[in-house]
Amino acid sequence: MSRVAPTLEDVARVAGVSRATVSRVVNGTRNVDPELQETVRNAIEQTGYTPNRVARSLVTRRTGTVALVISGAGGGSDVFSDPFFGRVTAGVVDFLRGHSVHPVLMLADSDHARTEVVEFLRQGSADGALLVSTHPADPLPARLLEAGVPSVLYARPGRPMPIGYVDMDHRAGGRLAADHLVAAGRYNIATISGPMDVLASQDRHAGFRDAMARHGFPYVPTVEGGFTAESGAAAMHRLLTECPDLDAVFAANDLMAQAAVDVLLEHGLRVPEDVAVVGFDDSAPALACRPPLTTIRQPVERMAAQMADLLLADLEKPGQRPRSVIFEPELVVRASA
């Protein structure tokens, strides 16, 4: 004889709450007390209740999934080798798990792939998009807007448009790096920028140069990198050739900073005694580096969670004005500077 499947009423009875409260937790409603959520989830586990997602989607017109779209970052291997994208994914997954929403990872590294993303979302296969777009000229944010897809960006869009986003004050981060190196008594300071067609790179570089000018340094030798270890190493080799007396380097991300440290050590220079190095992001390479990197912390996981929170708020109450949330950077002092 087959066992009767547990119902919402069964869960409510075990949890000691109303059926409506169980329904709100199952449907991922955001304004449920965290302790109640935990109580209901424990009751769901005890009873073995399984939500009927098909029936639920007919009522809520939602799939319970959102697309995490990484646009313009190249193929899968490029994405998964970069600690930044891993941190974004972790922040999104951890936040959505608590709201019974599941992410679908989509890579949009070509026009064809971007078209597939738009069609996937337009057909209602996911409720909205969390978009990490790496280039200001990326057409995908505008295409999602035109398609009426609820979307939130990680980083401000390349041109003004009515779409929500989270970002950090990258200029302030660049200023923090400059202030720290000058306060440490460094005078021959150079920088390895990120790719200058990326807004965050432009802002970090502008903030750094502005602060250096305010400290009385009108010119800062600069080599453009590509946010990769290889580009950081190449840039450091070039700086050593062009600026043999340099005593400090600011690199626009930790991968490039770690590579710069390796090159300096290969040349017999001590870090930080001969050359101080400051990175940006406070990602895994900052701690893996020897010596550990002084860096500018970008709270990527918190920013990714905030991005997901903005999207869920849009899905609950459609038609709200887009919102932006800007995070502040923080100087993390370690042994490299």
Please write the tens of the pLDDT for every residue from 14-31: 888 888 887 777 766 666
pLDDT value for 303: 97
Average pLDDT (251-278) is 97
167 - beta bridge partners? 326
- pLDDT confidence tier of residue 35, bands split at 50, 70 and 90: confident
Classify the phi-psi angles of 124: left when phi > 0, otherwise alpha if psi is within -120 to 50, otherwise beta.
Answer: left
Range scoring the smallest mean pLDDT among 81-95, 153-167, 180-194: 81-95
Cβ atoms within 10 Å, residue 172 = 17
pLDDT value for 64: 85
Please write the tens of the pLDDT for every residue from 119-128: 999 888 899 9
Closest of 115, 131, 116 to residue 66, by C-alpha = 131
What integer best gives the mean pLDDT of the chain?
89
Please write the tens of the pLDDT for every residue from 275-302: 999 999 999 999 999 999 999 999 999 9
The structure tokens 């970090």 sit at 204
pLDDT value for 87: 92
C-alpha 8/C-alpha 309 separation (Å) is 26
Written as six digits, the tokens of 319 are: 């038609």
Assign a CATH topology to domain 65-168+301-327. Answer: Rossmann fold (3.40.50)
CB 330 within 8 A of CB 296: yes
- pLDDT confidence tier of residue 3, bands split at 50, 70 and 90: low
C-alpha 247/C-alpha 254 separation (Å) is 18
Assign a CATH topology to domain 8-60. Answer: 434 Repressor (Amino-terminal Domain) (1.10.260)
pLDDT value for 75: 53
List every span in the chain annotated with CATH 3.40.50.2300: 65-168+301-327, 170-297
Classify the phi-psi angles of 29: left when phi > 0, otherwise alpha if psi is within -120 to 50, otherwise beta.
Answer: beta
Report in angstroms the alpha-carbon separations of 316 from 229, 288, 296, 309, 320: 42, 42, 35, 11, 10
pLDDT value for 1: 40
Q: Which residues contact 188 (CB under 8 A, 6 or more apart)?
A: 243, 245, 246, 247, 248
pLDDT value for 84: 87
Asked if CATH classification 3.40.50.2300 holds for the domain at 170-297, the reply, yes or no, is yes
Q: Which amino acid is at 7?
A: T
pLDDT value for 32: 73
pLDDT value for 27: 66
List every span in the chain annotated with CATH 1.10.260.40: 8-60
CB-count burial class (<10 Å; 0-12, 13-18, 19+) for 217? middle
Which has more confidence, 55 or 194?
Answer: 194
- pLDDT confidence tier of residue 167, bands split at 50, 70 and 90: very high
Give the chain's radius of gyration (CA, Å).
24
Closest of 141, 189, 180, 133 to residue 161, by C-alpha = 141
Longest CA–CA span in the chain (Å) reads 85
Q: Is the predicted pLDDT of residue 159 greater than 70, yes or no?
A: yes
Q: What is the DSSP string of 71-87?
A: ESS-SHHHHHTSHHHHH
pLDDT value for 275: 98
Please write the tens of the pLDDT for every residue from 54-113: 444 444 456 789 999 998 765 555 666 678 888 999 999 999 988 888 999 999 888 899
Which has more confidence, 203 or 60?
Answer: 203
Q: Could you give the percent of the chain with pLDDT greater than 90?
A: 67
Distance in angstroms between the alpha carbons of the first and the last residue of the chain:
71
pLDDT value for 7: 77
Does the CA dihedral 13-15-18-22 come out positive or negative? Answer: negative
Classify the phi-psi angles of 64: left when phi > 0, otherwise alpha if psi is within -120 to 50, otherwise beta.
Answer: left
pLDDT value for 83: 82
Report in angstroms the alpha-carbon separations of 145 from 118, 139, 153, 259, 303: 10, 10, 12, 39, 22
Residues in the chain: 337
Q: Is the predicted pLDDT of residue 270 greater than 50, yes or no?
A: yes
Written as six digits, the tokens of 82 are: 């970069």
